[in-house]
Amino acid sequence: MSEAARRTLRTALQTVVALLPLLADGGAADIPALAGVVAVAAAVTRVMALPEVDRLLPRWLRKGDGS
């Protein structure tokens, strides 16, 4: 898998996880809800960047050499 495809999959996964609180709230798209989505996205991105978490991901989704 190419590095570009791997980055795209990681971003898609992080986006889905970030949108879960908004969807659980019934889809209310007000400013506090959107701020929560941004905060969750930032937290998930930061956690996925940790080497310990990266090692737990499937090989094809890791940051480094996933081939």
Confidence of residue 13 (pLDDT cuts 50, 70, 90): confident
Q: What's the DSSP call for residue 29?
A: -
- Chain centroid to CA 26: how far? 21
21-66 pLDDT, tens digit each:
767 766 666 777 778 778 888 888 888 888 898 888 888 878 765 4
The pTM of the full predicted model, rounded to 2 decimals, is 0.56
Comparing CA positions, the residue from 42, 25, 41 lying closest to residue 33 is 25
Cα–Cα dist 47/57, whole Å: 12
CA gyration radius, the chain: 14
